């Protein structure tokens, strides 16, 4: 049975977002600041200091919504969604990520299984696995935990998953659909950034957004979501988006971030100076250019800095 888009959305688009952990977000507290930016989750404000937006709280909220969605889906007579995760080798980080995904799926009522393969598995065998899972009507979503061993071509394996079961949104057709503003399964981190922006009520229409990072799984899809037309099949943010990267000269990045209303730092830690502390600020105003570069406390290398009206929202939860 083909699982319709809504089912996959539950599986793919939101599962990863549920993984938000220990998040905190800071924005300079302004007495009487615009409260519409705090919809549906707890926030605390400190006068002339950062307001903490709880990423954990936002994740819990989304988790509840997905749980309700899954139960509603099943109550309509549909099969319980089932996620198959292909895990290759014994990379400890990969095993940890997969355990968390399994736990997150379970918490919202999604069944899951791990298909474990040794690190010397051949590409052919992996493609046989994806073929079997593609054809299995009891499997509604498939995810291959990356990275794969060097002798396996990740792109080929990602393209081996049926696009409609491609929970990570890495299949070439899902990338194509995303870039054409069509409904698609969207890579999880980009989807999470979109959700944070929407749930915090930050305006992007006609605003300047800097996306620092151009990776195909994070920076590029974020830039796609934010610059595109809000009226299309898959609505975009209608922002003026600047895509910066390792070859953007430091002084130019400073100018671009000063111009920006929203800054999304989607660059790996190795490319940026890192600080575990929230950005310093004075009088509620933030020197965005500096902070966008140093404020990357997450292992995933992603944080979101939002700067409406000259003030700063910093989401620091892992997403």
Q: Are strands 208-212 and 240-244 parallel, antiparallel or unpaired?
A: parallel
**How many CB atoms neighbour CB 43 within 10 A?**
20
The set of long-range contacts for 60-66, using a CB threshold of 8 Å and a minimum separation of 24, is 61/199, 62/14, 62/17, 62/18, 62/20, 62/195, 63/18, 63/104, 63/107, 63/108, 65/14, 66/10, 66/14, 66/15, 66/18, 66/108
Which of 97, 95, 116, 94 is CA-nearest to residue 105? 97
Q: How far is the CB of 185 from a copy of itself (least distance, A)?
A: 13
Q: State residue 308 phi and psi, 5-degree precision.
A: -80, 145
The smaller minimum CB distance to a copy of itself, of residues 195 and 261, is found at 261
The smaller minimum CB distance to a copy of itself, of residues 99 and 155, is found at 155
Q: How far is the CB of 172 from a copy of itself (least distance, A)?
A: 4
The smaller minimum CB distance to a copy of itself, of residues 216 and 285, is found at 216
Q: How far is the CB of 252 from a copy of itself (least distance, A)?
A: 6
Return residues touching a copy of itself (CB under 8 A): 155, 172-177, 179-182, 205-206, 208, 214, 216, 220, 223-224, 227-229, 238, 240-245, 247-249, 252-253, 255-256, 259
Residue 37 to residue 170: CA distance in whole angstroms: 31
Residue 259 to residue 282: CA distance in whole angstroms: 19
The smaller minimum CB distance to a copy of itself, of residues 137 and 176, is found at 176
Q: How far is the CB of 250 from a copy of itself (least distance, A)?
A: 10
Q: How far is the CB of 198 from a copy of itself (least distance, A)?
A: 17
Q: How far is the CB of 122 from a copy of itself (least distance, A)?
A: 23
The smaller minimum CB distance to a copy of itself, of residues 23 and 308, is found at 308
CA distances from 107 to 67, 88, 138, 214 (A): 8, 24, 20, 33
The smaller minimum CB distance to a copy of itself, of residues 44 and 182, is found at 182
Residues 6+ apart with CB under 8 A from 161: 130, 133, 134, 142, 144, 171
Q: How far is the CB of 235 from a copy of itself (least distance, A)?
A: 13
Q: What region, left, alpha or beta, does residue 138 occupy, with left being phi > 0 and alpha being psi -120 to 50 degrees? A: alpha
Q: How far is the CB of 272 from a copy of itself (least distance, A)?
A: 15
The smaller minimum CB distance to a copy of itself, of residues 14 and 256, is found at 256
The smaller minimum CB distance to a copy of itself, of residues 132 and 309, is found at 309
CA distances from 80 to 111, 134, 222 (A): 7, 17, 30
Residue 12 to residue 165: CA distance in whole angstroms: 8
């Amino acid at each position: 049975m083909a699982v319709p888009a809504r089912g996959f959305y539950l599986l793919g688009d939101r599962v990863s977002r549920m993984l938000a952990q220990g998040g905190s977000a800071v924005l300079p507290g302004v007495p009487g600041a615009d409260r519409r930016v705090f919809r549906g989750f707890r926030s605390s404000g400190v006068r002339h200091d950062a307001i903490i937006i709880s990423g954990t709280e936002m994740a819990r909220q989304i988790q509840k919504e997905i749980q309700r969605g899954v139960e509603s889906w099943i109550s309509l007579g549909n099969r319980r969604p089932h996620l198959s995760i292909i895990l290759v080798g014994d990379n400890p980080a990969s095993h940890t990520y997969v355990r968390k995904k399994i736990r997150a799926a379970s918490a919202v009522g999604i069944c899951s299984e791990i298909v474990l393969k040794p690190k010397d598995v051949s590409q052919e065998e992996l493609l046989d696995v994806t073929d079997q899972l593609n054809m299995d009507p009891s499997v509604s979503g498939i995810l291959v935990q990356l990275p794969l061993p060097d002798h396996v071509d990740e792109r080929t394996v990602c393209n081996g998953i049926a696009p409609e079961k491609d929970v990570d949104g890495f299949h070439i057709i899902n990338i194509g659909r995303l870039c054409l503003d069509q409904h698609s399964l969207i890579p999880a981190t980009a989807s999470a950034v979109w959700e944070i922006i929407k749930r915090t009520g930050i305006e992007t229409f006609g605003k300047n957004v800097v996306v620092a990072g151009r990776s195909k799984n994070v920076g590029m899809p974020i830039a796609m979501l934010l610059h595109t037309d809000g009226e299309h099949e898959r609505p975009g943010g209608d922002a003026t988006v600047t895509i910066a990267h390792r070859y953007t000269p430091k002084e130019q990045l400073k100018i671009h971030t000063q111009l920006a209303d929203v800054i999304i730092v989607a660059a790996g830690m190795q490319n940026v100076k890192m600080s575990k502390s929230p950005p310093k600020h004075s009088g509620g105003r933030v020197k965005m250019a500096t902070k966008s570069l140093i404020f990357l406390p997450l292992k995933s290398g992603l944080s979101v800095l939002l700067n409406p009206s000259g003030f700063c929202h910093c989401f620091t939860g892992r997403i």
